[in-house]
Structure 1
Amino acid sequence: MENIESIMDAIEKYLDEKEDLRERSIKACRNIIRHSRKAIQKMHKNENIEAANDLEKALAELTEIHSLLKDRHNDLLYTGFMENAYRELSEGFCLLSILQDENLPQPEDLNVTSSSYLLSLGDVVGELRRLTLDCIRNNRYDEAEEFFRKMEKIYISLLRFDYPSGMISIKKTQDNCRVLIEKTRGDLTVALCNRKIEEKLSRLEKPLKEKTEESKKEDVEDLNIDRVW
């Protein structure tokens, strides 16, 4: 047992290193989540360039953490705090791609897991609902319908995945997407019906207004005192 101390020293060194990297990873994940959420907020303000800058900062942090963990402590790459960061980052990049009418980024390009990527697409559906409602409020119905179609496309794509929750817990995300889509469908349908009613009323209002003005003009002419005398 003369070597027990050297064994303990090596294990202690390994665990100290792992603890240090874990703390650094947690801090980096907080930054990744913060940058990603700021980017999403900016996208809703149509500040896509600034949003892209925030996402690049988040991706740079994630890339650095990956390089530190992948060799000796790659098990930390699959912890809960890392998955949360992956999900927020993926959501931001996917939403930006949709707004810029580009192809979605690949999971491996973002250094994220497949499960976090799929779950992030469910979150994107929620952001697209917000954008749809914003368009409805501003009478941009064509854009609203386009965002809604993208919501449906993502939802249909997610329905392909039917795996045990131990592999990927996606059932709740699928259910949430379905609820959001049905609510948005109702909101959009009501808005479009109201628009049609307003257009018909506007078409009816114009001839009625013209007829009323003609009637007033005739009344004035009838009351013209010169004509009476």
Structure 2
Amino acid sequence: MDRFSQLSDSVHNAFEVRNQARDKALMQTRKVIQHAAHAIRAIHRLDVDLADGFLNDARLLVDQLRRDLGEHPDLFYAGYTQDALKEYVEACVTCALIRGQEMPLPEEIEVEPAVYLNGLAEVVGELRRRCLDVMRQGYSPEVERLLSLMDEIYALLITIDYPDALTNGLRRQTDLARGIVERTRGDVTISLREQRLSQSMKELAVLLKTESLNDDEILPEIEEED
């Protein structure tokens, strides 16, 4: 019986430690996701300082997660933790690209390649959102820059031809990214055509007005000659 008591105490203590670590990790991952979402929302409003603040808060929490789960790798690689890291990647890359900066690499933000690529795939949707915001003000070179970035991300993703077990289901995210890129390209094409049509109509209106004024000037001269 002493052996069973020893076993009971041992396993209960082990599970209690892991359960506490899990509860703390769940709370931290929720906060990471919240900060990442706030950072993306801020950068879409071009509030750079606010976005940087949320990114820094998320970064501190991610660092804390790594330390707290150092002895619990199974919890660190659990779905909820990796999802939070994916959202963190999405926020970091989105904020950098919208600001015209170089995007951070996986080793620079200390995440696994699979997590990074899944986060990168979701950046495509945020770039589309930014692209549509810019197009509301009219077509501009910024639209082309954003669309080019979306193309580059997709071009990278389609080269990752490995089992889903290694890439965390990246193939599905890649398919979604392709659809987003195609829809955005269509929207950009329509926007450009509409802008060109609008400009042509304005030029035609000016031309017609000018010709009308010239006709008004000629008529009095003809009447005087008569």
Residue equivalent to 1:187 = 187
Q: Helix, strand or coil: the match of 2:163?
A: coil
The answer to whether the 8 A contact 2:42-2:50 is kept is yes
Task: Return the alpha-carbon distance in structure 1 between the equivalents of residues 179 and 38 of structure 2.
Answer: 26
Query: Mean Cα displacement is larger for which, 116-125 or 199-208?
Result: 199-208
Q: Helix, strand or coil: the match of 1:6?
A: helix
Task: Return the alpha-carbon distance in structure 2 between the equivalents of residues 221 and 208 of structure 1.
Answer: 21
How is 1:154-193 mapped onto 2 (pairs within 5 angstroms)?
Answer: 154-168=153-167, 169-193=169-193
Q: Helix, strand or coil: the match of 2:100?
A: coil
Alpha-carbon offset, residue 122 of structure 1: 0.9
Residue equivalent to 2:72 = 73
2:121 aligned with 1:122, yes or no?
yes
Residue equivalent to 1:208 = 208
Alpha-carbon offset, residue 165 of structure 1: 1.6
Task: Return the alpha-carbon distance in structure 1 between the equivalents of residues 53 and 139 of structure 2.
Answer: 28
Q: Deviations over 1:178-205 (max 9, x none)?
A: 1111111111111111222223233332
Alpha-carbon offset, residue 26 of structure 1: 0.4
Q: Deviations over 1:26-67 (max 9, x none)?
A: 011110000100110111101122101101101111111210
Task: Return the alpha-carbon distance in structure 2 between the equivalents of residues 59 and 97 of structure 1.
Answer: 15
Taking a change above 3 Å as real, the CA distance of residues 203 and 8 of structure 1, as seen in their structure-2 partners, is same
Task: Return the alpha-carbon distance in structure 1 between the equivalents of residues 183 and 150 of structure 2.
Answer: 12
Residue equivalent to 2:144 = 145
The answer to whether the 8 A contact 1:63-1:111 is kept is no
2:74 aligned with 1:36, yes or no?
no
Alpha-carbon offset, residue 110 of structure 1: 2.5
Alpha-carbon offset, residue 218 of structure 1: 4.5
User: Given the two structures, how large is their TM-score scaled by the length of structure 2?
Assistant: 0.91
Identity %, equivalent residues: 27
Residue equivalent to 1:89 = 88
The answer to whether the 8 A contact 2:36-2:88 is kept is yes
Task: Return the alpha-carbon distance in structure 1 between the equivalents of residues 218 and 103 of structure 2.
Answer: 66
2:57 aligned with 1:57, yes or no?
yes
Task: Return the alpha-carbon distance in structure 2 between the equivalents of residues 9 and 84 of structure 1.
Answer: 34
Task: Return the alpha-carbon distance in structure 1 between the equivalents of residues 59 and 106 of structure 2.
Answer: 12
CA RMSD of aligned residues (A): 1.9
The letter for the 2-side match of 1:96 is: C
Task: Return the alpha-carbon distance in structure 1 between the equivalents of residues 111 and 15 of structure 2.
Answer: 25
Residue equivalent to 2:134 = 135
Q: Deviations over 1:6-33 (max 9, x none)?
A: 3322221111010001001001111000
Unmatched 5+ residue regions in structure 1?
Answer: none
The letter for the 2-side match of 1:40 is: I
Task: Return the alpha-carbon distance in structure 2 between the equivalents of residues 91 and 114 of structure 1.
Answer: 13
The answer to whether the 8 A contact 2:29-2:80 is kept is yes
User: Given the two structures, how large is their TM-score scaled by the length of structure 1?
Assistant: 0.90
The answer to whether the 8 A contact 2:85-2:111 is kept is yes
